[in-house]
């Protein structure tokens, strides 16, 4: 406990004399000061559309560069057993692949939403875990997963997509990655 906290006066009294109607009005006033959701998601929709127009390898490259660029803002978490369980089936299947082109083809198939065993395992994951799968893949690329070729040149469309995402604020970038990740693989009907 730090001494600095002792001077805090928290509101701990029941709200005497505040009716539910008055409380609802207070809530409305606070919420009215928050920028509307539609404005903030508009930019994301455009960048998602731009990204969706890219060819498969450019998509992989943009994803890789983005996760890489986010390294300062987002840090890897030590994997707990609960996390491992949720993505375990996916990585058991992925890690059975030999290092190299087979891994690259598997990632391409995910991006293209091909009907593969891996794509179906991926599709069964919840949004947060799909995001996690790409985070882990990007972390492992260049190590236990085949990386971007050193001489890979992102075409103009890919550069534009990457630039567009970089213009977004952090919250929007995370949402962009989540939206992109959610669309990949074979979603369970």
Tell me how far apart the alpha carbons of residues 181 and 175 are, in angstroms, rounded to a whole number: 10
Tokens of 60: 């992989």
Minimum Å gap between C-beta 157 and another protein is: 26
Task: Using alpha carbons, select from 57, 56, 141, 60 the residue that is nearest to residue 99.
Answer: 141
Identify the residue whose tokens are 């959610």: 182
Window 73-102: contact mask with another protein (x via CB under 8 A): xxxxx-x--xx--xx---------------
Q: How far apart are CA 150 and CA 178, in angstroms?
A: 27
Which CB, 7 or 151, lies closer to another protein?
7
In the complex with another protein, the residue whose CB is nearer, 12 or 151, is 12
Q: Determine the size of the site formed for another protein (CB under 8 A).
A: 54
Of 10-18, 55-63, 94-102, 109-117: span binding another protein (CB under 8 A): 10-18
Stretch of residues binding another protein (CB under 8 A), selected from 58-66, 68-76, 94-102, 103-111: 68-76
Judge whether 162 and 66 are in contact, CB under 8 Å: yes
Please tell me the distance from the alpha carbon of residue 130 to that of residue 22, in angstroms, as a whole number: 42
Q: What is the distance between the alpha carbons of residues 165 and 179, in angstroms, rounded to a whole number? A: 13
Contacting residue, 35, 150, 151, 188, with another protein by CB under 8 A: 35
Q: Which of 74, 89, 176, 47 is nearest to 135 (CA)?
A: 74
The nearer residue to another protein, 44 or 162, going by C-beta atoms, is 44
Nearer to another protein, 55 or 127 (CB): 127
**Residue 178, Cβ neighbours under 10 Å: how many?**
15
Binding site for another protein (CB under 8 A): 1-2, 5, 8-16, 18, 20, 23-24, 26-27, 30-31, 33-37, 39-41, 44, 72-77, 79, 82-83, 86-87, 126-129, 131-133, 135-136, 170-172, 174-175
């Amino acid at each position: 406990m730090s001494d600095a906290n002792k001077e805090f006066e928290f509101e701990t009294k029941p709200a005497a004399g505040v009716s539910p109607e008055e409380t609802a009005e207070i809530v409305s006033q606070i919420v009215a000061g928050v920028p509307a959701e539609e404005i903030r998601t508009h930019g994301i929709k455009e960048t998602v559309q731009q990204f969706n127009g890219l060819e498969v390898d450019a998509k992989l490259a943009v994803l890789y560069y983005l996760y890489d660029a986010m390294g300062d803002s987002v840090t890897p978490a030590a994997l707990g057993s609960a996390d491992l369980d949720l993505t375990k089936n996916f990585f058991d299947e992925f890690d059975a692949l030999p290092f190299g082109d087979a891994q690259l083809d598997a990632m391409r198939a995910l991006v293209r939403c091909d009907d593969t065993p891996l794509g179906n395992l991926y599709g069964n994951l919840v949004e947060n875990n799909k995001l996690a799968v790409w985070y882990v893949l990007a972390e492992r690329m260049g190590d236990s997963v085949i990386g971007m070729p050193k001489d890979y040149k992102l075409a103009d469309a890919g550069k534009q997509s990457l630039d567009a995402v970089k213009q977004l604020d952090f919250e929007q970038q995370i949402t962009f990655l989540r939206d992109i990740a959610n669309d990949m693989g074979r979603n369970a009907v």
